[in-house]
Amino acid sequence: MYIVKRLLTMIVTIWLIATLTFIIMKSIPGDPFASDANVLPEEVLQNIRAKYNLDKPLPVQYVLYMKNLLTFDLGPSIQSETRDVNTLIADGFPVSAVLGLQSLVIALLFGILLGIIAALNHNRLLDRLAMFLAIIGISVPSFILAPLLIKYFAVEWKLLPVASWGTWAHSILPSIALATTPMAVIARFMRSSMLEVMQQNYIKTAEAKGLSPATIVIKHGIRNAILPVITFIGPLFAVLITGTFVIEKIFAIPGLGKYFVDSIFNRDYPVILGTTVFFSTILVITLFLVDISYRLIDPRIKLTSNKGD
Quote the mean pLDDT of the chain: 86
CATH number at residue 158: 1.10.3720.10
Question: Within a domain: residue 209?
Answer: yes
Name every residue whose Cβ is closer than 8 Å to that of residue 50 and which is 6 or more positions away in sequence.
none
Give the pLDDT confidence score for residue 122 in this predicted structure. 92
Whether residue 141 is contained in a domain is answered as: yes
**How many independent structural domains does the chain possess?**
1
Question: pLDDT confidence of 35, banded at 50, 70, 90?
Answer: low
Rounded CA gap, 115 and 183, in Å? 10
- Phi and psi at residue 251, to the nearest 5°: -95, 10
Tens digits of residue pLDDT in 122-135:
999 999 999 999 99
Model pTM above 0.75:
yes
Helix (H, G, I), strand (E, B) or coil at 228: helix
- In this predicted structure, what is the pLDDT of residue 308? 44
Does residue 20 register a pLDDT over 50?
A: yes
3-state secondary structure of 100: helix
Residues belonging to the chain: 309
Return the number of other C-beta atoms located less than 10 Å from residue 71's C-beta. Answer: 7
- How large is the C-alpha radius of gyration of the chain? 24
Question: For residue 168, what is the DSSP state?
Answer: G
Best CA proximity match to 275, nearest among 238, 304, 221: 238
Predicted pLDDT of residue 243: 58
Higher-scoring residue by pLDDT: 74, 44: 74
Domain assignment of residue 238, yes or no: yes
As a whole number of angstroms, the distance between CA 223 and CA 291 comes to: 16
* Residue 289: per-residue pLDDT: 84
Q: Is 216 part of a structural domain of the chain? A: yes
% of the chain residues with pLDDT over 70 = 92
On whether residue 98 sits in a domain, the answer given is yes
Is 192 part of any domain?
A: yes
Assigned domain for 240 exists: yes
Does 14 reside within a domain? no
Structural domain boundaries, residue 160: 87-258
Letter for the amino acid at 12? V
Q: Could you read off the pLDDT of 232-277 as tens digits, one per residue?
A: 887 788 778 765 788 888 898 888 888 888 888 888 888 989 998 9
pLDDT value for 299: 61
